[in-house]
Amino acid sequence: MSHAKTFRLAALAAGLLVPAASAAERTPGSGVYERLLHSVAMIEARGRQGTGWLADGPRRLLVTNYHVVGKEGTVTVVFPDYKDGKLIAESRHYKENGPALGRRGRAVRGRVVASDPRRDLAVLQLGDLPDDVVPLKLATEPAAPSDRVHSVGNPGASDAFWVYTSGTVRQAYRNRFQYQDGQQVEARVIETQAPLNPGDSGGPVVNDDGEVVGVNAAGKSDAQLVSLCIDVSEVRPLLAGVGRGAAPEDRAPSRGDEVAALPRNPTAADHNNRGVDFYAREQYDKAIAEYAHALKLDPGYALAYKNRALVFHKVGTLMRSGARPYLNQALADYGIALHINPKDADAYRERGLVRARLGDYDKAIADYSAAVDVNPKFAEAYRDRGKAYREKGDLDKANADLDKAIKLTGR
């Protein structure tokens, strides 16, 4: 499968609560901005920073990009804080008051309950929801060229959060592209000339009525003011796939929830995404079978190898005995994935976790080191390497890595 176009991720690879761009200006869209503030959150997961928005109040469902949260189980979701009725935009407030934000319900936990890497979308279910947060309405009319659009995100260019931006739709069309980390996306997109920066990923793109027409995703790496948003038509089926009977508590979909049927002529990505759904439902045999189908169709599909490795690792951790063959298979799959895409920091870190479980701390440390070489702000890789050094008795290196992780995440 050939992909000529590469886009930079608009999720900020950094620690908890990263700085953002300049504060919102009073523009014709300022009324929309005030409404968006009561729906948009900041997300911290996998050492990345992104944005999300509430799509379903009763079920507490938040939409964001897949590349923000991946298959991460539980993530941190932060809503705007206020003083005397006014937004606190300064980033230092959120970095310095993390525990207090949690106690007051402005920082909550969220769990990934649905994901689709091909559409670059994910849905979180929140464990709690502040009283002033309300869902956004999905637009019934698609965005078209010359339409004005508005968005709120959390870019890392300055020292504020919940930054407003506006722009114009250039075109809406189906597109296939690849991110710098190898993730392949095929979806209907909206192209705008609104500036999009790391940290904006997952933020809502709305029309003048405040209705969601798209989800911020990426900026083109070799052009200025060419930004892509995933069209709202791609959001609806993912939301519909989250069981209507979802319990109020924070949980993953149950084993009884249905997995979407394959299209008539499924692609490798279709099988891969179905494997992700089966994995979320703890149906590991079915997940492995779907990844095998994906790899039969596309033997060079690194993401399917990585996802299958994750399942083998999970199965190995659940077994009281006989785990080694599963862990060895996980190592083999990670090895192939990294041969195809040697710049995948997540794959290095995940392979390191398998090696640490097997007690091979030297090789685990080598993998964690490779992960931070690719992504020097990968806090979890530093933390895991610190744990491996501690197991080896090298406390100085362990403390240095754990200190680095704390500096990157604030915790």
Q: pLDDT of 38-97, one tens digit each?
A: 999 999 887 778 999 999 998 899 999 999 988 767 789 999 999 988 999 998 898 888
When pLDDT is cut at 50, 70 and 90, the band that residue 383 belongs to is: very high
Mean pLDDT of 292-314: 91
Mean pLDDT rounded to a whole number for the chain: 84
Give the per-residue pLDDT at 94. 85
- Is the overall model pTM greater than 0.75, yes or no? no
Q: Per-residue pLDDT for 386 more than 50?
A: yes
Mean pLDDT of 304-320: 90
When pLDDT is cut at 50, 70 and 90, the band that residue 16 belongs to is: very low
Mean pLDDT of 235-245: 76
Mean pLDDT of 225-251: 72
Q: Per-residue pLDDT for 225 more than 80?
A: no
- The set of residues, in sequence order, having a beta carbon less than 8 Å from that of 181 and lying 6+ positions away, is 9, 67, 341, 343, 344, 345, 346
User: Measuring CA to CA, which residue among 23, 22, 15, 24 is closest to residue 43?
Assistant: 15
When pLDDT is cut at 50, 70 and 90, the band that residue 30 belongs to is: low
Q: Per-residue pLDDT for 217 more than 80?
A: yes
Give the per-residue pLDDT at 292. 94
Mean pLDDT of 280-290: 87
Mean pLDDT of 172-180: 86
Please give the structure tokens belonging to residue 135.
């869902």
User: Measuring CA to CA, which residue among 153, 244, 132, 134 is closest to residue 202?
Assistant: 153
Orientation of helix 268-280 relative to helix 284-297, angle to 10°: 170
Q: Per-residue pLDDT for 252 more than 80?
A: no
Give the per-residue pLDDT at 191. 94
- The set of residues, in sequence order, having a beta carbon less than 8 Å from that of 393 and lying 6+ positions away, is none
